[in-house]
Amino acid sequence: MSLKDEAPTQTLDTLGRVCPYPLLLTKKALEKMSSGQMLKVLCDAPASAEDSIPRFAEKGGFGFESVKLADKWELYIKKA
């Protein structure tokens, strides 16, 4: 089962936010979550969705999946 089929513990809406808030809010939300929980992030800033958030997730060893929709990305991050 891929991450996007799991029910997220929390959904974070960063739509419209400018760099670097999507990344910072994502970090912040993950800090508060416990291991194994999943965060779903809605993001429409290309640099954050495609570059900085995936890189952060990889460095942290978190599970990560990204779904590109017509007007935004849905990012699924599972805390390690």
Partner 1 sequence: MADTVMFLLSGLLIGAAFGFALQRGRFCINSAFREVLFQDYTMLRAYMLAVVVTMVGANLIESLGMLQPVADASGGTTAGELYRQAFVPWANVIGGYIFGMGIVLAGGCGSGILYRVGEGSLAYVFAVFGFFFGIVITKFGFLKPIYEWMIAPERVIWLGEDTVPTLDNVIGVNKWIVIAVVSIVLLYFVYQGRPFKKAKKGYAWHLVGILAGIIAVAAFWASDYYGGRARGLSFTGPVREFFLAVLMGNSQAASTDKTLTLLGVTFSWSSLYVLAVPIGGFLSAKLLQEFKLKVSPPDEMLKVLLGGFLMGIGAQTGGGCNIGHSLTGVSTLAVSSWVANIFIILGNWTMVYFLLIRPMRDMEV
Q: Where along the sequence are the contacts to partner 1 (CB under 8 A)? A: 15-21, 24, 27-28, 31, 44-47, 50-52, 54-56, 59, 66, 68, 70-72
Is 43 one of the catalytic residues?
no
Least distance CB 18 / partner 1 (angstroms): 4
Nearer to partner 1, 7 or 41 (CB): 41
CB-CB contact of 75 with 49 (8 Å): yes
Q: How far is CA 66 from CA 4, 55, 56, in A?
A: 8, 12, 13
Which sign, positive or negative, has the C-alpha torsion 27, 31, 32, 36? positive
Query: Which of 18, 19, 67, 80 is the catalytic position?
Result: 19
